[in-house]
Amino acid sequence: MRMSHFVKFIILLNFLQLLDPSFSLPLCTDSRAPLQLKTPLAFCSYNGTSCCNSNGDKQLQTQFNAMNISDPGCASLVKSVICAKCDKFSGELFRTDSVPRQLPILCNSTTSANSTKISQVESDFCSKLWTTCQNVSIISSPFSASVKSNSTKLTDLWKSQIDFCNAFGGASGDGSTCFAGEPVTLNTTTPITPPGGLCLEKIGNGSYLNMVAHPDGSSRAFFSNQQGKIWLANIPKLDSGELLELDDASPFLDLTDEVHFDTELGMMGIAFHPKFSQNGRFFASFNCDKQAWPGCGGRCSCNSDVDCDPSKLPGDSSSQPCQYQAVIAEFTASGSQPKKAKAANPKEVRRIFTMGLPFTGHHGGQILFGPRDGYLYFMMGDGGGIGDPYNFSQNKKSLLGKIMRLDVDGTSIPLGAAEITKLGLWGNYSIPKDNPYTDDKELQPEIWALGMRNPWRCSFDSARPSYFMCADVGQDKFEEVNIVSKVGNYGWRAYEGPYRYTPSKSPGGNTSMSSTNPIFPVMGYNHSDVNKNGGSASITGGYFYRSMTDPCMHGRYLFADLYAGSMWAGTENPENSGTFNTTQISFKCAQKSPIDCTFVPGSSDPALGYIFSYGEDNNKDMYVLASSGVYRVVRPSRCKYTCSKENSSAVVDDIPAGPPVASTPSAAFMLTGSCNNFVLMLLSFMLILASCF
């Protein structure tokens, strides 16, 4: 028995050594994940993880040499500033309130002295830069570019240090990241206290897949079900005891005649144009049956471009190749004032996208507008089949297993399904100019990220839009959450989470491990952790909780398992690091819930049924959309959970300190993405095994 433990330990070590050290981290200025450098950059000297490769490093050196700075002290400071583009935190360093900048946010005493989140050489770097460089000539100065001037000295453009630092000093949009002359490093991890639990109140009995807050900022929200209906509802105030106001008999839009509803088919997503209050435009993502509805048909995703023969797809004699389609259609609100509209025009304005599905599962279907860029993101699974047999997810010519990014404002021609095939694309849209196909010519132009199995519920963090979180359903072992970045490859089917995966059948060929270069998940769980008896597991992604209703949950990412009814809270530690600790959390039904909750037999736990999705309203309060109804997260004291900050009016910036929380041991390395945490995990394993010898 003792030798058996030792052998298992050696096998575990060998397995961990196979893992590629690519992790989801904060993003670069071009929305990509940072690179793992094999050697330090020659000019900017960044090492390890960086947002620059050698070519970018040479371009910055050329830019710096052209400045011809005679003063060595000033030259050193300016070099560090332009090299900040190589910092692994450059995506946040070069943004303020979601607005791109030409230069990084420079730390100064008025904005960074009270910050404890950043370990930095100088707390007043902006002042130091001004003092050293104010009268030094800098040709093609990067500082003058912001005011469109050819002046070479700082004093020609700004009257004082205060004016200069008002322009370039400060902190990022989330108040934590600024540049101090050297690569940004975050404080070491601190012990965290797990939340006491999640308190829920039931406000509706309906079963919905999607909830979208009304773009007008009001207390209204849109809900949609899998069968094909969309409703406009009024959300009651917190602690009012009132119900969700939704007239089931009067939907905002009814597409049940077009939508094909089945276990994994139906209306999968809704998205409202960022200017919906002015233009009334919104979009529905659904599945249809081309045998039942002639207006459904589009090109099959199994085609010669991806070396797939649609005539050989499995099916019964009555089915057609790619009988079921994934569709995005555009609609408009009725009337001339979209804000006041209580119904939509039932006729489709135009078909944005149509694609035939090879199987009846794994097609995601959620759609979201990016909060920074205004483009439509479309989450698409691998199309189904055990182990992605045709290797669609890694095939750069296929749109299956991808996250797509489309410009729905670039075309305006009303088109039906019959005209779509004439466009050469998959529908009526245009391609954003900065999509990754411009760098990787093998990629289809719609693709933003690849290597997904079945992305089920993604969200942009409302406090940090660069954090684009997507849960991806696993095959046999692991359910995962990823931070999605431009042209990021999330491994499927070469990997299932942190595990190597080998399909039982592969008519579509295989992708080499070396070419995959996967970005591993930042959170997740093993199937064995939620289904001890061998049942199913399927992750449901959620949101970063940004409400102050439960201040002890503030800043944590919430997600669940659809079948098991379990929930987790992911805590980033240090903040902005991309490193998460996860804790499985309990949840209860609040006393005096507007609708009485049902309970698991023999337990005080509420019986939510299947957890389909989460929602967020305009006040950032969070909702659980389950098969048994709609639940809202409320004050923890209503469930007798203890939260010391519940009665405090102070804004919560940090997760409260306390004893450390252990992640699932079998997944701890993947969940942290940190070598330090890996060492701790390894030591823990050694201590456990030592007790067996």
pTM, full prediction:
0.87
Least confident range of 10-24, 631-645, 651-665:
651-665
Comparison of pLDDT for 651 and 523, the residue scoring more: 523
- Residues 262 and 37: their CA atoms lie apart, in Å, by 47
Confidence (pLDDT) at 1: 38
Confidence of residue 411 (pLDDT cuts 50, 70, 90): low
Confidence (pLDDT) at 171: 65
Instruction: Give the model confidence (pLDDT) of 17-42 as tens digits.
Output: 334 445 567 889 999 999 989 999 99
Alpha helices in 596-674 (DSSP H): 668-672
Going across the sheet that includes 376-379, the strands are 367-369, 376-379, 402-406, 447-450
- pLDDT at residue 535 tops 70: no
Going across the sheet that includes 324-332, the strands are 267-272, 281-289, 324-332, 350-356
Confidence (pLDDT) at 236: 98
- pLDDT at residue 412 tops 60: no
State whether residue 303 is helix, strand or coil: coil
Instruction: Give the model confidence (pLDDT) of 306-364 as tens digits.
Output: 999 998 887 755 678 899 999 999 999 999 999 999 999 999 999 999 999 999 999 99
Confidence of residue 529 (pLDDT cuts 50, 70, 90): confident
**Which of 146-150, 258-262, 318-322: highest mean pLDDT?**
258-262
pLDDT more than 90, % of the chain: 68
Confidence of residue 532 (pLDDT cuts 50, 70, 90): low
Q: Please name every residue paired with 89 in a beta bridge, in sequence order, or none if there are none.
A: none
Q: How many CB atoms lie within 10 A of CB 590?
A: 23
State whether residue 525 is helix, strand or coil: strand
Is the alpha carbon torsion for 282, 286, 292, 294 positive or negative? positive
Which residue matches tokens 């989470």? 497
- pLDDT at residue 436 tops 80: yes
- 8-state DSSP, 460: E
Mean pLDDT of 120-127: 68
Confidence of residue 95 (pLDDT cuts 50, 70, 90): confident
Confidence of residue 674 (pLDDT cuts 50, 70, 90): very low
Instruction: Give the model confidence (pLDDT) of 437-493 as tens digits.
Output: 998 999 999 999 999 999 999 999 999 999 999 999 999 999 999 999 999 999 999
Q: Please name every residue paired with 626 in a beta bridge, in sequence order, or none if there are none.
A: 611, 629
Confidence (pLDDT) at 530: 87
Mean pLDDT of 640-659: 59
Report the chain's mean pLDDT, rounded to a whole number. 85
11 φ, ψ (degrees, to nearest 5): -60, -40
- Hey, what are 566's tokens? 């379990």
Instruction: Give the model confidence (pLDDT) of 297-321 as tens digits.
Output: 899 999 999 999 998 887 755 678 8
Comparison of pLDDT for 151 and 617, the residue scoring more: 617
State whether residue 210 is helix, strand or coil: strand
Confidence (pLDDT) at 650: 39
Q: Please name every residue paired with 583 in a beta bridge, in sequence order, or none if there are none.
A: 569
- pLDDT at residue 533 tops 70: no
Comparison of pLDDT for 562 and 603, the residue scoring more: 562
Confidence (pLDDT) at 418: 46
- Residues 171 and 123: their CA atoms lie apart, in Å, by 12
Alpha helices in 70-204 (DSSP H): 72-82, 90-93, 109-112, 125-133, 161-168
CATH, domain range 198-639: 2.120.10.30
**What is the β-pairing status of strands 447-450 and 455-460?**
unpaired
Domain range summary for the chain, segments of one domain joined by +: 24-186, 198-639
CB 511 within 8 A of CB 490: no
The DSSP-derived string for 159-206 is SSHHHHHHHHBS--TTS---B-SS--EEPPP---PPPS-EEEEEEE--
Least confident range of 187-196, 381-390, 570-579:
187-196
Confidence (pLDDT) at 297: 86
Q: Please name every residue paired with 531 in a beta bridge, in sequence order, or none if there are none.
A: none
Which residues, at least 6 apart from 24, have a Cβ–Cβ distance to it below 8 Å?
Answer: 33, 482, 483, 484, 485, 488, 519, 520, 521, 522, 578, 673
Confidence (pLDDT) at 477: 94
Confidence (pLDDT) at 508: 74
Q: Please name every residue paired with 526 in a beta bridge, in sequence order, or none if there are none.
A: 478
Confidence (pLDDT) at 317: 55
Confidence of residue 67 (pLDDT cuts 50, 70, 90): very high
Confidence (pLDDT) at 19: 41
Of 156, 155, 166, 161, nearest to 96 (Cα)?
166
- Hey, what are 295's tokens? 């207006």
CB 83 within 8 A of CB 63: no
CB 673 within 8 A of CB 520: yes
- pLDDT at residue 112 tops 70: no
